[in-house]
Amino acid sequence: MKNSEFNYKKYVKPNFQPKNFTNREWPDKDITKAPIWCSVDLRDGNQSLPTPMSVDEKMGMFKMLLDVGFKEIEVGFPSASQTEYDFLRKLIDENLIPDDVKVQVLTQSREHLITKTFEALKGCKNAIVHLYNSTSVLQRDVVFNMDKEEIIGIAVKGAKLIKEEAAKYPETNFQFEYSPESFTGTEMDYALEICEAVMDVWQPTSENKMIINLPSTVEMTTPNRYADQIEWFSKTIKNRDCVSISLHPHNDRGTSTAAAELGLLAGADRIEGTLFGNGERTGNLDILIVGMNMYSQGVDPELDFSNINKIAEIYKDCTKLPIHERHPYVGDLVFTAFSGSHQDAIRKGMKARESRGEYVWQVPYLPLDPHDLGREYKEIIRINSQSGKGGAAYIMESEFGYNMPKAMQKYFGKVVKRRSDSMGKELSPQEIFNLFEKWYINIETPYKLTKYKISSVDSDSFDVDSNNIETNNLLLEAVINFNGHDYTIKGTGNGPVDAFSNALMQQDEEELKSLKNYKFVHYHEHALGEGSHVKGVAYIQIDTGCTEPYFGVGISENINTAAISALMNAINKSYIKMDVN
Residue numbers in the known binding site are 44, 248, 250, 284
Peptide bond into 301 cis (omega under 30): no
Contacts of 368 by beta carbon, 8 Å cutoff, 6+ apart? 292, 295, 296, 329, 361
Name the binding residues for Mg(2+).
44, 248, 250, 284
**Element containing residue 408 per DSSP (H, E):** helix 406-423
- Alpha-carbon distance of 59 to 140, in angstroms, equals 37
Gap between the Cα atoms of 490 and 432, Å rounded: 37
Element (H, E) at 132: strand 126-134
Sequence-separated contacts (24+) of 435-438 with Cβ below 8 Å: 435/580, 436/396, 436/402, 436/412, 436/553, 438/578
The alpha carbon of 166 is separated from its chain's Cα centroid by a whole number of angstroms, namely 43
User: Measured between alpha carbons, how far is residue 465 from residues 161, 462, 529, 531, 565 in Å?
Assistant: 94, 9, 21, 20, 12
Residues in the chain: 581
The sign of the CA dihedral 115, 121, 126, 132 is negative
Residue 339, Cβ density class (10 Å: 0-12 exposed, 13-18 middle, ≥19 buried) = middle
Contact 363, 320 (CB under 8 A): no
